[in-house]
């Protein structure tokens, strides 16, 4: 059974608000923040365990999460969650960010002998490699800010250029949130490499 992660946490809300409030000091910005906070208290966004795949040419890592968005009505989570597949591709150079723990020069026959004589510097190098690898993979973890921005993008997507499943999700999203509520959500840059695909 897969573990679900709730994306609407206080830490993520704080990060989102910091990002949204950059360069804004006027009263309307504060009102918009309050409206966003109120809306977030009524939302639930969950992520399933990620699926991580390497590209065929070995230049990208694709990370996917099944994402469910629902709204709380009178404190109870609505059963009709809208499901998307969050996808993000991260370019990676394995020459600079190795995703391995040991030097390939160690053969299986000498591994047991080498294990008894591993130096602290070898352990430090292995730890650095692991940290670099996780740092790279962490770039693929969705943030609340990013998912909200993608939802806003889908909400205003023209229906004429979409297939039936996308149109169905657009309608469900428009039934779940009003236009005024969606306008309080942050916008993300068009160059963002992540996407939400209806499932």
pLDDT digits (tens, 9 = 90+) for 65-78: 999 999 887 666 66
Q: How many domains does the chain have?
A: 1
Residue 83: enclosing H or E segment and its boundaries? strand 82-91
Residue 173's pLDDT band (cuts 50, 70, 90): very high
pLDDT digits (tens, 9 = 90+) for 124-168: 554 554 445 556 667 778 999 999 999 999 999 888 766 888 888
Q: What pLDDT is recorded for position 161?
A: 66
Structural domain includes residue 99: no
> Both tokens of residue 180?
């005024």
Query: 10-20 and 27-41 helices cross at what angle (nearest 10)?
Result: 150
Range(s) of the domain holding residue 22: 5-92+143-198
Structural domain includes residue 97: no
Structural domain includes residue 75: yes
Structural domain includes residue 100: no
Q: What pLDDT is recorded for position 107?
A: 42
Structural domain includes residue 126: no
Structural domain includes residue 120: no
């Amino acid at each position: 059974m897969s573990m679900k992660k709730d994306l609407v946490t206080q830490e993520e809300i704080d990060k989102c608000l910091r990002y949204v409030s950059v360069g804004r000091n006027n009263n309307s910005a504060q009102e918009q923040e309050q409206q966003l906070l109120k809306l977030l208290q009524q939302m639930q966004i969950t992520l399933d365990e990620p699926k991580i795949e390497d590209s065929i040419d070995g230049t990208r890592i694709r990370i996917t999460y099944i994402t469910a968005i629902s709204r709380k009505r009178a404190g109870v989570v609505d059963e009709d969650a809208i499901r998307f597949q969050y996808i993000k591709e991260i370019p990676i150079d394995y020459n600079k960010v190795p995703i391995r723990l040991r030097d390939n020069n160690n053969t299986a026959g000498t591994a047991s002998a080498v294990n008894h004589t591993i130096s602290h510097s070898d352990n430090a190098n292995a730890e650095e490699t692991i940290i670099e690898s996780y740092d790279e993979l962490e770039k693929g973890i969705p943030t609340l800010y990013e998912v909200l921005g993608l939802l806003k993008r889908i909400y205003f997507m023209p229906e004429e250029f979409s297939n039936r499943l996308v149109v169905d999700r657009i309608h469900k999203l428009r039934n779940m949130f009003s236009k005024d509520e969606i306008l309080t959500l942050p916008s993300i840059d068009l160059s963002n490499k992540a996407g939400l695909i209806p499932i």
